[in-house]
Structure 1
Amino acid sequence: MRFRLTDDQRALRDGVRGLLARRFDVRAALDRPGHLDRTLWRELGAAGFFALRLPEERGGTGLGLPETVLAFEEAGRALLPGPLIATHLAAATVPGAADGSAVVAHVDGRLVEWLAEADVVHGEAAGAVPLRSVDPLTPLHEVPEAAVLEGVAHEVSLLTAAEQLGSAARTCELAAEHARTREQFGRPIGAFQAVQHLCAGMLVRVEVARAAVYAAAVTGDPADIAAARLLADEAAVRGARDCLQVHGGMGFTWEAEVHLHLKRAWVRTHRTGDVTESMELLARNLLTGVD
């Protein structure tokens, strides 16, 4: 199996990264928590973000799951807020979802992200009550009874893994940058073995998760997706924690984005395909055919 990106895939990845770098500032978003930037949402739609897998004759770009994973990895890296996955999955069925003129949310388990900002909600959200979210950029509601997403659960899990991968890669970069520039006792903290071990562990988890997520995007196999989700969740959560260790107390300040990656990673772990569901799926897969 080949994991080398094509020129077109690299161009897509770089294009999404460039768009988000120009148009999205996570610190500015913190000034209006719970508010979805509709102008940016429409720009994402115009750029084809939500219609990546729609056929060209239906206004999409006609790309596949691997390219979609690359785009969502960049969204995770930038901490882009909003019900991205739900709107992407609704592009073929909900008018306005593909071009970003409509915001779609779905009831996923007991938690619903961005319910108040959604134009369309998939699933039963009656009786939903707002929760105080640990992530200031992901408003949450809780519904009385857990719901199961029919037909798209594996895609939700894979795209969540892609977002987690992007976040893990970003915290790895932040840790390495800080270790090179922050000095203690007259030398960069990256010269100390304990910090080196933290950074090395982060990089290993990122690259292992990357291989798993990219492979699952190619095969689309539920077991591969479950494995990718487990590895990406671990890379995102442990990576953010280790990055906080490298930064010390300043990692918890609002001027740093490290703690925001940890909080978003925590919220993502509660989506469909969480650690329990993924482990159970892998266990069933391993036991298939065993007497």
Structure 2
Amino acid sequence: MRFQLTEDQRVLRSGVREVLARVFGAEALWAAVDGGGGLDRGLWRELGAAGFFSLRVAEGEGGVGLGVPEAVLVFEEAGRVLLPGPLVATHLAAGVVPGAASGEVVVTAVGGGGLVEWLAEADVVVGEVGGAVALRSVDPLTPLHRVPEADSSVRPDDLYVLLTAAEQLGTAVRACEAAVQHARTREQFGRPVGAFQAVKHLCAELLVRVEMARAAVYAAAVTVDPVDIAAARLLADEAAVRGARDCLQVYGGMGFTWEADVHLCLKRAWVRAERGGSITESEELLAGELLIEAG
């Protein structure tokens, strides 16, 4: 499949990137981390005003009237800036839950493994959360609860998984960009570290994983097929998690310090990889389809 963005889609992506740079740049990211990770309601309403949540709601119902491919582009940009909050759940609730589309209402949902993000901050919760227990989240910008009695056989909605994969893709892009920038500017023994073969290989592998994940995520956005979404999820998770780890290697010791935001990419990728449920389910779904085609 050959997937090329239309001019309108390129303009949308560029516009979303500009908006997110304005409302959630580097200073806002660190302010959120240092502030304990509470949800910024003002930011949420700004996202609502920009059409982030109402993107797929019909124009006749007050929405933007776009489709899944455009939503994937928007969530990729959100992942790239590490935008916090139950973005996917609120987006999917727009047009159904009053106030969700405008950002006046925060919606969260019980995800894979009974994990619930931002439970204390949410106005509406999709799913049963009786007996939810607070967890210590590895990601400072994703507070978590677990529902012990959650039905592990219930699979998350396919769009929930796909938009999460788009977020993972964006995080992988951020890690790749950070690694390349550091390799170009950081000098060791009088040369940029990017001049060393081992670092070149790491950066090249980062880029390959990003582009493979992008192709899969974009294709799944067009087909909205469960098998394509499973493949996109697997590749996006790998690109985000391994990409952040390789970025840490490019940074060397500096990457493990608090002020370098590379660790935020890795922590976000770890948490998002759990959101779509067991990775084994995606692997089995994809393997089953491959066996059918082979037979």
TM-score normalised by structure 2 residue count: 0.95
The answer to whether the Cα contact below 8 Å between 1:107 and 1:149 also exists between their aligned partners in 2 is no
Give the aligned partner of residue 199 of structure 2: 195
Written as runs of structure 1 = structure 2, the 5 A alignment for 1:252-271 is 252-271=256-275
For residues 182 and 18 of structure 1, the distance between their equivalents in structure 2, rounded to whole angstroms, comes to 27
Deviation at 1:6, TM superposition (A): 1.2
The one-letter code sitting in structure 2 at the alignment partner of 1:84 is L
Deviations 1:42-85 (A, max 9, x none): 01001110011110000111100000000000000000000000
For residues 94 and 111 of structure 1, the distance between their equivalents in structure 2, rounded to whole angstroms, comes to 21
Deviation at 1:23, TM superposition (A): 1.1
The one-letter code sitting in structure 2 at the alignment partner of 1:156 is Y
For residues 261 and 37 of structure 2, the distance between their equivalents in structure 1, rounded to whole angstroms, comes to 17
Give the aligned partner of residue 164 of structure 2: 160
Give the aligned partner of residue 92 of structure 2: 89
The answer to whether the Cα contact below 8 Å between 2:156 and 2:276 also exists between their aligned partners in 1 is no
The one-letter code sitting in structure 1 at the alignment partner of 2:9 is Q
Give the aligned partner of residue 223 of structure 2: 219
Q: Which runs of 5+ in 2 are unaligned?
A: none
Deviation at 1:254, TM superposition (A): 2.2
The one-letter code sitting in structure 1 at the alignment partner of 2:8 is D
Written as runs of structure 1 = structure 2, the 5 A alignment for 1:1-291 is 1-24=1-24, 25-108=28-111, 109-147=113-151, 153-288=157-292
For residues 274 and 217 of structure 1, the distance between their equivalents in structure 2, rounded to whole angstroms, comes to 21
Deviations 1:77-134 (A, max 9, x none): 0000000000000002100000000000101132100000000001010110110000
Which SS does the other structure have where 2:275 is aligned? Answer: coil
What is the aligned-residue RMSD (CA, Å)? 1.6
The number of residues matched between the two structures is 291
For residues 212 and 30 of structure 1, the distance between their equivalents in structure 2, rounded to whole angstroms, comes to 31
Deviation at 1:284, TM superposition (A): 2.4
Q: Which runs of 5+ in 1 are unaligned?
A: none
The answer to whether the Cα contact below 8 Å between 1:161 and 1:213 also exists between their aligned partners in 2 is yes
For residues 89 and 70 of structure 1, the distance between their equivalents in structure 2, rounded to whole angstroms, comes to 15
Deviation at 1:287, TM superposition (A): 3.4
The answer to whether the Cα contact below 8 Å between 2:133 and 2:145 also exists between their aligned partners in 1 is yes
For residues 249 and 151 of structure 1, the distance between their equivalents in structure 2, rounded to whole angstroms, comes to 39
Deviation at 1:147, TM superposition (A): 3.7
The answer to whether the Cα contact below 8 Å between 1:226 and 1:273 also exists between their aligned partners in 2 is no
For residues 172 and 151 of structure 1, the distance between their equivalents in structure 2, rounded to whole angstroms, comes to 31
For residues 147 and 103 of structure 1, the distance between their equivalents in structure 2, rounded to whole angstroms, comes to 24
Identity %: 73
The answer to whether the Cα contact below 8 Å between 2:114 and 2:152 also exists between their aligned partners in 1 is no
Using the TM superposition, name which of 42-51 and 21-30 deviates more: 21-30
The one-letter code sitting in structure 2 at the alignment partner of 1:207 is E
For residues 79 and 213 of structure 1, the distance between their equivalents in structure 2, rounded to whole angstroms, comes to 18
For residues 155 and 69 of structure 2, the distance between their equivalents in structure 1, rounded to whole angstroms, comes to 19
TM-score normalised by structure 1 residue count: 0.96
The answer to whether the Cα contact below 8 Å between 2:155 and 2:277 also exists between their aligned partners in 1 is no
Which SS does the other structure have where 1:30 is aligned? Answer: helix
For residues 251 and 128 of structure 1, the distance between their equivalents in structure 2, rounded to whole angstroms, comes to 34
Which SS does the other structure have where 2:34 is aligned? Answer: coil
Using the TM superposition, name which of 33-42 and 114-123 deviates more: 33-42
For residues 112 and 96 of structure 1, the distance between their equivalents in structure 2, rounded to whole angstroms, comes to 20
The one-letter code sitting in structure 1 at the alignment partner of 2:93 is A
Using the TM superposition, name which of 139-148 and 211-220 deviates more: 139-148
Which SS does the other structure have where 2:150 is aligned? Answer: strand
For residues 38 and 221 of structure 2, the distance between their equivalents in structure 1, rounded to whole angstroms, comes to 31
For residues 2 and 223 of structure 1, the distance between their equivalents in structure 2, rounded to whole angstroms, comes to 18
